[in-house]
Amino acid sequence: MTKHKSMGMGLFAAFAACLAFAQTAQCMDVVTIEGCEPSLLPQGKKFKLVWNDEFDGDRLDASKWSYRTNFWGQRAYWFATPEDNAVEVKDGLLHLKIVKKADGQFVSPQLQTGELVWDIPHEENPKGFWPLPKREKAKFMHRYGYYECRCRLQQMPGWWSAFWMQTPMQGCSLDPRRAGIEHDIMESFDVGEVTPHYFHANGYGADYLGFSVPRRLKGVDSDTFSRENSVKLDKTAFHVFGMLWEPDGYTIFIDGRQHGQKVGQGEGEAVSQVEEFVLVTTEAKWYRNNRMTGKGVPELDAAAAAGDDFVVDYVRVYDIVE
C-alpha cells in the first residue's frame, strides 16, 4: 500500500493531473520506493534514484541532515536548534514547526545537507590568522539531475517554507558557473501560494545576479512580478515540486506540470556547474527587522499556539541516465 496516500495526491490523482496538462506536463508516475508515493518524473529521460529521505523513522536522520543555526559566523536567534523541539518525524512525515520560546523569541528550523561560509561560527580569538574552526563535511552534494520534494505548505500566515539548494562557494567568484547558484525550487511566503522560482548568483550584494522562472520582463518591478506570477494551491493538500537541472538550464515542475520556460541561457542567466547541497527550511517573516520577540507579532503567536507546521513527505534526488 502506498504510504499515507490519503493525505495527498495518490496514483490516480497524479495521473489525472498529467492528463489535464498533457501538452506541457512532461510527467509520469514512477514508483522508485516500494510502498511510498510515486515520483512525478519528466518524460523523455531515464532517471536513477541516488539520494532520498522518506522520513520513515521516529527522529531526524542525522546522517542526512544538519541544522542551520548561524548567519555570518554569529548565532542566528531566529533559527531553531535541536533543543527547541521544532522538528518532528512521525508516521512517515517530517514536521517543521514554529515555536515560541520562554523568552518570547520565535524560532523555526532550517535543515540542510551541507554548509556554506555563513554557517560557520567564527572563533573569537583565533590562534592564527584563520578565524574559522574545523568545518563539517557535507552530508550530501550533487550536480545535475532531478530534485523533488512532496510537501504540504504551512497553514497560517506569518512564516514561510522553502525547498532549495545552495553551494558552499556562493558568491566566492563572479563566475556563477564555478561558484554555483542558489536554486529556489519552492518558496511559499503566503498561505496557499508559491512565488516565482528564483535563481541567485554572485553573492547577495552589489555584484548580485538574479533571474527567475517565469522570466521577469524588463521594466516590471519585483513586487508586481511576484504578485502576478505566484501560483495558488490547495493549502490542505500535498504538492510535488521538482527541478530538472541540466548543463544547459533549469526546468521547474509543480505537481508534474512544467511551470514556465527552461532558463539558464538567456541574458543575465547562467547554470551552476558545481555540486550543491539541499535545504528544507522555514522562516518567520519579520526576522530581518527584529519583530520576532515579545509582543507585536500576533500572526506568529497564533501559528505557534496552533502547532502549525510545514510537512514534508519525501525529498528525492535523481541522476539523469540517458
For the chain, which domains are there? 50-64+80-114+141-320 (2.60.120.200)
Query: In the prediction, which pLDDT does 133 show?
Result: 81
Q: How many CB atoms lie within 10 A of CB 19?
A: 9
pLDDT digits (tens, 9 = 90+) for 196-216: 999 999 999 999 999 999 999
Maximal CA-CA distance, the chain = 63
**Cα–Cα distance list, 169 to 136, 173, 205, 300 (Å):** 15, 8, 15, 33
User: Strands 159-166, 193-194: parallel, antiparallel or unpaired by DSSP?
Assistant: unpaired
Query: Three-state SS for 85?
Result: coil
Cβ atoms 145, 317 nearer than 8 A: yes
**Per-residue pLDDT reduced to its tens digit, 232-284:** 999 999 999 999 999 999 999 999 999 999 999 999 999 999 999 999 999 98
Q: Is the pLDDT of residue 230 over 90?
A: yes
The per-residue pLDDT for 294 is: 54
**pLDDT score for 118:** 86
Q: Is-contact 316 55, C-beta < 8 A?
A: no
- The model scores a pTM over 0.95: no
Q: Express each pLDDT in 41-84 by its tens digit.
A: 999 999 999 999 999 999 999 999 999 999 888 898 899 999 99
Q: Quote the distance between the C-alpha of residue 273 and its chain's center.
A: 19
When pLDDT is cut at 50, 70 and 90, the band that residue 297 belongs to is confident
Kindly tell me if the per-residue pLDDT of 15 is higher than 50. no
Q: What share of the chain is helix, strand, coil (3-state, %, to 5)?
A: 15, 35, 50
Taking each continuous run of H as one helix and of E as one strand, the counts in the chain are 4, 23
Q: How far apart are CA 165 and CA 199, in angstroms?
A: 10
Taking Cα atoms as reference points, which of 254, 253, 312 lies closest to residue 3?
312
> Torsions phi, psi of 143, nearest 5?
-130, 130
Residue 13, pLDDT score: 41
